[in-house]
Amino acid sequence: MELIIENVRSFCGRHSIPIKPLTLLVGENSTGKSTFLAMLAHVSQAGFPSFRPSFNTPPFDLGTYDSIATFRGGRYGRSGSFSIGFIRDGGPAEEKVLATYTNSLGQPQLSELVAVWKENELRFESDGPASYSGKATWTRKGELQKPVPVNFKNWELGAMEVPLVVALQFHCLQTLSPKGFPGAITAPQKVFLPASALAPVRTKPRRTYDEISDEFKPEGDHIPVLLAHMWQQEGGLPRQHLFEALSEFGTKSSLFRKVGVRRLGKSPSDPFQIVVTTAGPPVNLPDVGYGVSQALPVIIQSVLASEHRMLLLQQPEVHLHPRGQAALGSFFCRLVAREHKHFVIETHSDYLLDRVRIEVGQGTVPPENVLILFFDKKGLATQIHPINLDKLGNVIGAPDSYRRFFLDEEINLVTRSGS
């Protein structure tokens, strides 16, 4: 399973990047890790690809066409298009969707679409930059039909309830022949699971909560309400599983022993508090270390996430002591191994990364389920290096630039003046 990115910000040219159940993004600041997550989130949407997409769905904000398309400077200038998509396998069962966008009044607009799956290939090509018209061609079982004109000005794009690939197939059938091709309209299977993304800085803790919605929010505002709803349930495996996982992580990280809810009234809609037990009696969430409030959305959302959904995390270790960062590494490995969860994690934590390697070496999670993506930027261009682990947790195939800074720092420390 691979994500395709072409001419997006610092990703000059085409990049095909593999994804595994536990994928860790590492590299210096401004090397493209957040952009990568944003594109992965976009491809994972049910509506991908769309004619006029938005790349500013929280927690991501990539801006307009000019802030997305690669700028190479000099005589190269800004790229005239950029592409994103996915590909799976490579043989006769290959599935691929690749959407190319050009500039239309400052915003990205679909100019070309290629979708390949089973015995089908669908192509759309616009009539030119910023054009709402073009031609679609559908090939099935090697039978190529003549191009069908498409004018998106006549389509109610905002009200579409089916993927664009399916809509274009139906348009071809409807235009060419009432009978069309034999068989039902199909679509490529989504390679990437639906994704939820948590922001790198979660919401600040509050002394009292009175929200009534537990709808997902990238900053984790929904987590206290979700926790309160779970607290109200009498028994039940989801409730027991969540609070056991919280207790296990809290103990291993030394952050807390228990997390609970204190109701300030008898009605389910009355205000409540999140209370945390450390060494003494339970205290209100704002009265413990800030790292607890930043870690809770990560832990709770990870535990409750379906195995059929991918969780995109930016710096889950923020505000955590190294022991807590390492505990996160064990936490993610165990969820991947025991519950088949899927994570793509941007991290600057050596402690988290090293703990993942230790867990692989101890057999907690198989090495084939773990991948490190090293983002290395030279000038204006980023190169992504996939790095695998062996069964002992050793790094395989890392470039010379990987970990160079840390090695240089160790050498400088050992050879410092006066030592």
> Is 194 domain-assigned?
no
Mean pLDDT of the residues in the chain: 90
pLDDT in tens, 316-329: 999 999 999 999 99
Looking at the fold, whether 165 and 255 belong to one and the same domain comes out as no
- Confidence at residue 33, expressed as pLDDT on a 0 to 100 scale: 96
371 and 349 within one domain = yes
For residues 247 and 281, membership in a common domain is answered with: yes
* pLDDT reported for residue 179: 57
The CATH number linked to 18 is: 3.40.50
Residue 418 has pLDDT above 70, yes or no: no
Strand pairing partners for 326? none
Look at residue 156 in the predicted model and tell me its pLDDT.
79
Do residues 29 and 92 share a domain? no
Chain centroid, CA 315 distance in Å: 12
Shared-domain flag, residues 38 and 58: no
**Percentage of the chain surpassing pLDDT 70?**
95
What mean pLDDT is predicted for residues 382-395? 96
Q: List all residues 6 or more positions away from 101 whose beta carbon is below 8 Å from its beta carbon.
A: 53, 65, 81, 82, 83, 108, 109, 110, 111
Structure tokens that stand for 381 in this block = 């261009």
Instruction: Clarify whether residues 14 and 133 are in a common domain.
Output: no
Q: What pLDDT, on the 0 to 100 scale, is given for residue 141?
A: 80
Last residue of a domain, one of 279, 304, 329: 304
Closest CA to 314 of 123, 3, 35, 118: 35
Report yes or no on 253 lying in a domain. yes
What is the model's pLDDT at position 256? 95
In a domain, 33, yes or no: yes
**What domain count does the chain have?**
3
User: Do 299 and 312 belong to one domain?
Assistant: no
Instruction: Report yes or no on 211 lying in a domain.
Output: yes
d(CA 94, CA 72): 32
Render the burial of 404-416: b for 16+ CB within 10 Å, e for the rest.
eeeeeeeeeeeee
Q: In terms of domains, do 145 and 231 share one? A: no
Task: Establish if 150 belongs to a structural domain.
Answer: yes
Q: How far apart (Å, rounded) are the C-alpha atoms in residues 42 and 28?
A: 23
Question: In terms of pLDDT, which residue wins out, 26 or 175?
Answer: 26
Order of all β-strands in the sheet with 258-263: 258-263, 272-277, 283-284
Q: Which of 189, 209, 241 is the last residue of a domain?
A: 189
Question: Are residues 298 and 384 both part of a single domain?
Answer: no
Position 63, amino acid: G
CA–CA separation, 45 vs 54, rounded Å?
11
Same domain as 51, residue 41: no
Assigned domain for 270 exists: yes
Same domain, 13 and 98: no
Token digits of residue 356: 């993942």
Whether 207 maps to a domain, the answer reads: yes
Q: What is the 3-state secondary structure (H, E, C) of the chain?
A: CEEEEEEECCEEEEEEEECCCEEEEEECCCCCHHHHHHHHHHHHCCCCCCCCCCCCCCCCCCCCHHHHECECCCCCCECCCEEEEEEECCCCCCEEEEEEEEEECCEEEEEEEEEEECCEEEEEEECCCCCCEEEEEEEECCEECCCEEEEHHHCCHHHCCCCHHHHHHHHHHHHHCCCCCCCCCCCCCCCCCCEEEECCCCCCCCCCECCCCCCCCCCCCCHHHHHHHHHHCCCCHHHHHHHHHHHHHHHHHCCCCEEEEEECCCCCCCCEEEEEECCCCCEEHHHCCHHHHHHHHHHHHHHHCCCCCEEEEECCCCCCCHHHHHHHHHHHHHHHHHHCCEEEEECCCHHHHHHHHHHHHCCCCCHHHEEEEEEEEECCEEEEEEEEECCCCCEECCCCCCCHHHHHHHHHHHCCCCC
- Residue numbers of the domain that contains 336: 1-45+308-419
Give tens-digit pLDDT for 66-86: 999 999 877 778 999 999 999
Domain boundary among 189, 220, 235: 189
pLDDT digits (tens, 9 = 90+) for 205-239: 999 998 778 899 999 999 999 999 888 877 677 88
Q: Could you tell me which of 134, 198, 145 has the C-alpha nearest to residue 344?
A: 198
User: Residue 321 domain-assigned?
Assistant: yes
Residue-wise pLDDT tens digits, 84-104: 999 986 555 678 999 999 999
Q: Are residues 375 and 326 in the same domain?
A: yes
pLDDT at 178: 59
Tell me: the pLDDT tens digits for 197-214? 999 999 899 999 987 788
Q: What is the pLDDT of residue 91?
A: 54
Please report how many Cα atoms fall inside a 13 Å half-sphere around the Cα of residue 241, on the Cβ side: 12
In angstroms, rounded to a whole number, what is the distance separating the alpha carbons of residues 381 and 366? 33
Q: Indicate whether 142 pLDDT > 90.
A: no
